[in-house]
Structure 1
């Protein structure tokens, strides 16, 4: 399986909007340099304790597009607050598996289910039902490095 990077996103803190960037630097046992979780400032961060399922999150653009079509929405990838938006890659199949993007090695830890915060923000009662098991993947950084928009996902 080979996938494509569509967008790379980071946010400095939980209240800041996600910012699109051309490249990210991933650090083992820390996260993405410049992102809220690397600084342990994320909504679900445990201060002083780095959790591997908070290193990096991914989501499929096809799932976002299907949600928008089914629910007549215009939700952007940034609204989901995931770090890496991919195309042509079944992220659910990567739970418990290692995969590579450029020189970075990631391990899928668990699905990144949609949260009530986004459902409320979208004012969409169908959101949680329509995005269950489609909200992306939480992954651990096994080997750090950099990823840019030209990087490919190799499983």
Structure 2
């Protein structure tokens, strides 16, 4: 059996890391109107290039690595399971801006993704849970979120995003 990842100039692992043909879907958008206030679920939002989501209280610095946060939709059920709940955790309780399904966000670290037609994000790192998860989710909330806290991103190109938009990898220009 021939394996297409072996025998080329790129290492096998580099080729595997670069292979991500599937697309995802934007499931939820949340805005934080003020510090420590509940997130507002919205059907669409304006993403400002190199800034933040319009209407979100966070004011990250231009060029910052944490201008917007994302979490994996599939992890909502996992976090709930670790807490002994049968229903997935509501996205707003986790304080992330975007919930994405169908594509492994962690596999996108240091890569760019397009959401909808206009918006491009550069995935910059992991968004680790904070002690606030104990307040929001109850005892064990912090540990339930470990490894499931999501990712941070820099906004490369702004525009409008909508729930239901396709999330796809932006292939690097060689």
Picking from 61, 64, 77, the partner of 2:73 is 61
The root-mean-square deviation of aligned C-alpha atoms, in Å, is 1.6
Change in Cα spacing, 1:51 to 1:13, as seen in structure 2 (3 Å) is farther
Question: How many pairs does the alignment contain?
Answer: 145
CA–CA separation in structure 1 for the residues paired with 2:63 and 2:131:
21
Structure 2 length normalisation: TM-score?
Answer: 0.77
2:64 matched residue in structure 1: 52
1:129 to partner: Cα distance:
2.8
Correspondence list, 1:20-35, <5 A: 20-35=41-56
1:86 to partner: Cα distance:
1.1
Larger Rg: 2
2:166 matched residue in structure 1: 152
Structure 1 length normalisation: TM-score?
Answer: 0.86
Q: Is the 8 A contact 2:93 2:136 kept in 1?
A: no
- Bigger RCO (CA 8 Å, 6+ sep): 1
Note the residue ranges of structure 1 that are not aligned, 5 or more in a row.
Answer: none
CA-to-aligned-CA distance 1:27-52 (integer Å, 9 cap, x gap): 11210001011xx2xxxx6xxx4462
Correspondence list, 1:86-125, <5 A: 86-102=100-116, 103-125=118-140
Select the structure that is richer in strand.
Answer: 1
1:15 to partner: Cα distance:
2.1
